[in-house]
Amino acid sequence: MRIPAAGADRKCAIFGALDYASGQLLSVLSARKDETAFMAFLEPLLQAVPSAEALVVVLDNAGYHTSLAMREWWRAHAEQLQPFFLPAYTPPLNLIERLWRYLKAKLACHRWWNDLERLQQAAEILLTGLEVHFHATDGPTFQPPHYFCETA
pLDDT tens-digit map of 32-67 = 999 999 999 999 888 877 766 788 999 998 999 999
Is the whole model's pTM more than 0.85, yes or no? no
Residue 145: CB atoms within 10 A of its CB come to 14
Supply the CATH number for residue 119's domain: 3.30.420.10
Give burial (CB, 10 Å; 0-12/13-18/19+) of 136.
exposed
Confidence of residue 148 (pLDDT cuts 50, 70, 90): very low
What is the domain range of residue 127? 13-144
Let me know the angle formed at the C-alpha of 33 by 105 and 37, rounded to the nearest 5 degrees: 120
How many structural domains are present in the chain? 1
Are 85 and 64 spatial neighbours (Cβ–Cβ below 8 Å)? no
Its sign, for the CA torsion 84, 88, 92, 98, is: positive
Q: Is residue 80 part of a domain?
A: yes
Give the pLDDT confidence of 92-147 residue by residue, as tens digits: 888 888 889 888 888 887 777 888 898 899 999 888 878 887 766 665 566 655 44
Q: How far apart are CA 111 and CA 97, in angstroms?
A: 21
